[in-house]
């Protein structure tokens, strides 16, 4: 399966712990996006990365959240000191970046459902 892969699919953390969510883009894709879906809401953009670069982090909370997309390996969304309000589904999407470097179709992974106890 050459689709976007995310793991784990489900993650349970206690308040104060750290959560690490991983995303492997589709083969050949070099652009990664993270979105958060709170219960009963649509997806909200968090961050857009290319290899080793954060391009747009306008949707990231100012504290406790960080993202990276290293030269080798998956993209990581890291949430430190989780709180109950962080419980949500976190989706990763990837795109090829071949449409003039922007505005190409994003393909989504199955998501990681984070539950904070």
Rg of the chain, C-alpha, whole Å: 14
Query: Does residue 14 contact residue 35 with C-beta atoms inside 8 Å?
Result: no
DSSP 101: T
Nearer to another protein, 9 or 15 (CB): 9
SS3 31: strand
**CA gap 3, 6 in Å, rounded:** 10
Nearer to another protein, 12 or 55 (CB): 55
Query: Does residue 77 contact residue 34 with C-beta atoms inside 8 Å?
Result: yes
Per-residue contact flags (x/-) with another protein for residues 63 to 102, judged by CB under 8 A: ----------------------------x-x-x------x
- Binding-site member from 24, 75, 94, 106 for another protein (CB under 8 A): 106
- Binding-site member from 42, 71, 72, 85 for another protein (CB under 8 A): 42
Residues that bind another protein in the complex, under the rule CB under 8 A:
4, 6, 31, 33, 35, 40-45, 48, 55-56, 58-59, 91, 93, 95, 102-111, 113
């Amino acid at each position: 399966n050459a689709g976007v892969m995310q793991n784990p699919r489900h993650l349970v953390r206690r308040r104060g712990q750290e959560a690490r969510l991983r995303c492997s883009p589709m083969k050949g894709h070099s652009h990664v996006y993270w979105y958060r879906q709170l219960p009963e809401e649509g997806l909200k953009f968090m961050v857009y990365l290319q290899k080793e670069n954060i391009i747009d982090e306008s949707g990231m909370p100012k504290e406790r959240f960080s993202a990276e997309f290293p030269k080798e390996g998956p993209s990581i969304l890291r949430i430190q000191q989780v709180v109950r309000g962080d419980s949500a589904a976190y989706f990763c999407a990837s795109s090829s970046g071949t449409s003039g470097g922007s505005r190409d179709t994003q393909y989504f992974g199955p998501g990681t459902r984070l539950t904070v106890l």
